[in-house]
Amino acid sequence: MSDGTPSSPVPPTPAPAGRAGQGPPSAPPSPEDDYLRRRSLRRGSAGWLLLTGLGVAYVVSGDYAGWNYGLAEGGFGGLAAATALMGLMYTCMVFSLAELSSVLPTAGGGYGFARRALGTWGGFLTGTAILIEYVLAPAAIAVFIGGYVESLGLFGLTSGWPVYLACFAVFTGVHLWGVGEALRFSFVVTGIAVAALAVFAVAAFSTFDAGSLTDVAGDGEALGANSWLPFGLLGVWAAFPFGMWFFLGVEGVPLAAEETRDPARTMPRAMAWAIGVLVVLAVVTLLAAAGAAGSDAIKDADNPLVAALEAAAGGEPTTLSRIVNYAGLAGLVASFFSLIYAGSRQLFALSRAGYLPRVLSLTSRRKAPWLALVVPGAIGFGLAAYTGDGARMLNIAVFGASVSYVLMSLSHIVLRRREPGLHRPYRTPGGALTSSVALVLACAAVVATFLVDPRAAGIALVLYAAAACYFGLYSRHRLVAAAPEEEFAALAEAEAELERG
């Protein structure tokens, strides 16, 4: 549905005059062409394999830490159920987004899908929720990287801020170098992290004890409480955000659509492979870690995989635990690096269309959106250095992600019902039923964020409200009609007018 707000054209640029005696000048580029030329990305830089690696890279750090706090909320059974439900949500959503990205393969991702289905307000609210996720999550992970570096005694550092600065400066610089180089770097680091997870699983399963899975003491008075669900059914719900950590970020793959070879075919294939790999990693990691050490031993651990290996070895560090510790740092780097990419592309798309200041979408000679990389990086470094509260920032990011899932799933349902004849190179298995499952579970996930960290959810709401005021009072009247996502929505409106006429 459209809110009826017209998109404005881009600012006019003066046409060059011909020189005396040379006849009429050649036709100058239109203002729209010149505007988009200065805001173009490098196309054809990634195939399905690099995109699959990108999807896994977004998430792999979540296998190394964070998920285990769900054991304190719901016990092993509660976290396992939450992981299964969130895995179902992400799988349904990924297949829905695969269809949408084949219809509209642009850097706007979720914003572009919601723009067509839900109008300018729907597009803005979806894009802003995604942006909250992809700006806050790298800041949180930078804090975790700093903690890892300090705990490992690397470089003799006793403070985290030099690590935060180095992370943002070095990895933003790689992205400025070029998208192809950035994705290949991410692929290699992600491969190291995944290989270490496999080694960990083999070692942990050698000491697996099913009885230790249910050793978390809980509240016997809770509804449905038992040894598997020590905090009852409500514990399952409270564990939702931690079940999400095994998958959080994979929905960012469509943001690479403009830089992909044959996105209508490549995107669905890459997203299916990525979610498949992540489901396997989630099951293996949860079972191996809890079974090797006991759920109670790792429920509060900052580094649960290392804690599991050391507990199985009698509490002493081992060569393998040290290897996994360093691999955990590689996993954090992979996720940090890929999330910078995702945030820059979402900011680029929103800026190019006028939802945010247009200058942020300018690209360099190497076709990198340099301001969309530098500005969020500076904000992320500031947040990390000032607060040092990675857990709180990550919970804010989870809230933003959950809201975006609601709106993206709803967009798929609306487009399926309103535009059944729209050309879809790829179609979601199960159609609107699949995205409806994702929608229901995403709504439950939004509520669960208030159960776990109401303050983080409140901060996210304040950020959301401030952004909505900016859009409603200012940028809503200055949208760029020539932007791909806006053009796509305008075409739909024109077709609807013809049908009504």
Rounded average pLDDT over 58-63: 91
The residue type found at 405 is: Y
Is 87 part of a structural domain of the chain? yes
CA distance 106 to 112: 8
Question: In this predicted model, what pLDDT tens digit does every residue of 73-114 receive, in sequence order?
Answer: 999 999 999 999 999 999 999 999 999 998 888 878 888 999
Question: In this predicted model, what pLDDT tens digit does every residue of 287-334 receive, in sequence order?
Answer: 999 999 889 999 888 888 988 988 888 878 888 888 888 888 888 889
Contacts of 405 (CB under 8 A, 6+ apart): 89, 93, 251, 438, 442, 445
In the predicted model, is pLDDT for residue 15 greater than 50? no
Q: Would you state the pLDDT for residue 265?
A: 87
Residue found under tokens 């709504």: 443
Domain range holding 215?
Answer: 45-496
Q: Which of 35-44, 64-73, 436-445, 455-464 has the lowest mean pLDDT?
A: 35-44
The residue type found at 371 is: L
Query: Any idea of the CA torsion for 125, 130, 135, 138, to the nearest 10 degrees?
Result: 160
Query: Any idea of the CA torsion for 70, 71, 73, 76, to the nearest 10 degrees?
Result: 110
Q: Would you state the pLDDT for residue 159?
A: 67
Question: In this predicted model, what pLDDT tens digit does every residue of 46-58 receive, in sequence order?
Answer: 788 889 999 999 9
DSSP for residue 255: G
Q: Would you state the pLDDT for residue 21?
A: 44
Q: Which of 112-121, 145-154, 228-237, 275-284 has the lowest mean pLDDT?
A: 145-154
Contacts of 122 (CB under 8 A, 6+ apart): 1, 114, 115, 407, 411
The number of folded domains in the chain is: 1
In the predicted model, is pLDDT for residue 29 greater than 80? no
Q: Would you state the pLDDT for residue 30?
A: 66
Burial call 251-262: b when 16+ CB within 10 Å, e when fewer: bbbbbbbbbbee
pLDDT confidence tier of residue 357, bands split at 50, 70 and 90: very high
The per-type count for the chain, helices as H runs and strands as E runs, is 18, 0
In the predicted model, is pLDDT for residue 141 greater than 60? yes
Is 31 part of a structural domain of the chain? no
Is 477 part of a structural domain of the chain? yes
Is 24 part of a structural domain of the chain? no
DSSP for residue 77: H
Displacement of CA 426 from its chain's centroid (Å) = 22
CB hemisphere CA count around 424 (13 angstroms): 19
Torsion-angle region of residue 159: left (phi > 0), alpha (psi -120 to 50) or beta?
beta
pLDDT confidence tier of residue 263, bands split at 50, 70 and 90: confident
The 3 state secondary structure assigned to 98-129 is HHHHHHCCCCCCHHHHHHHHHHHHHHHHHHHH
Is 356 part of a structural domain of the chain? yes
Rounded average pLDDT over 427-445: 96
Is 38 part of a structural domain of the chain? no
- Looking up residue 158, the CATH number of its domain turns out to be 1.20.1740.10
Q: Would you state the pLDDT for residue 365?
A: 86
| Contact call for residues 133 and 400 (beta carbons, < 8 A) | yes
pTM of the model: 0.87
Average per-residue pLDDT for the chain: 86
In the predicted model, is pLDDT for residue 20 greater than 60? no
Task: Please give the share of the chain, as a percent, with pLDDT higher than 90.
Answer: 48
Is 414 part of a structural domain of the chain? yes
Q: Would you state the pLDDT for residue 36?
A: 75
Q: Which of 179-183, 334-338, 413-417 has the lowest mean pLDDT?
A: 179-183
Q: Would you state the pLDDT for residue 14?
A: 41
Is 11 part of a structural domain of the chain? no
Rounded average pLDDT over 272-282: 96
Q: Which of 73-87, 97-111, 174-188, 422-436 has the lowest mean pLDDT?
A: 174-188
pLDDT confidence tier of residue 2, bands split at 50, 70 and 90: very low
Q: Which of 30-34, 194-198, 206-210, 466-470 has the lowest mean pLDDT?
A: 30-34
In the predicted model, is pLDDT for residue 13 greater than 80? no
